[in-house]
Amino acid sequence: MIRMRGTGGELRVGGVVAARLHRWTLENEVVVADADIDEFWFTAEGRRSLRVTIGGSLYVWNDVVVSGEQTLSIRLSGKPEVRG
């Protein structure tokens, strides 16, 4: 079982920030996070991606599935793109 915790991150829709994550936990390919959302972009159609920093590198998961509003549940799939 993989479990990580962090602070900060972004949920993007079509490349635009739809939610800013505060505290988050990653466990078994699901990220649970407290977030401030931009209602317009959060509800917009488009490809959803998650970006978080882990150990000084930016991890990007594309095509994530999101549920919730203030507390988000974000299902990851595949391997992330790692930058840095």
| Model pTM score | 0.93
Residues paired with 12 in a beta bridge: 17, 49
| 48 occurs within a structural domain | yes
| 41 occurs within a structural domain | yes
pLDDT digits (tens, 9 = 90+) for 56-79: 999 999 999 999 988 999 999 999
The separation between the first and the last C-alpha atoms of the chain, rounded to the nearest angstrom, is 25
pLDDT digits (tens, 9 = 90+) for 27-58: 999 999 999 999 999 999 999 999 999 999 99
| 84 occurs within a structural domain | no
| 38 occurs within a structural domain | yes
83: nearest Cα among 47, 59, 51, 52? 59
Specify the pLDDT at position 1.
64
Cβ neighbours of residue 47 closer than 8 Å, sequence gap 6 or more? 13, 14, 62, 63
How many structural domains is the chain composed of?
1
Q: Where in the sequence is the domain holding 24, given as residue range(s)?
A: 3-78
| 83 occurs within a structural domain | no
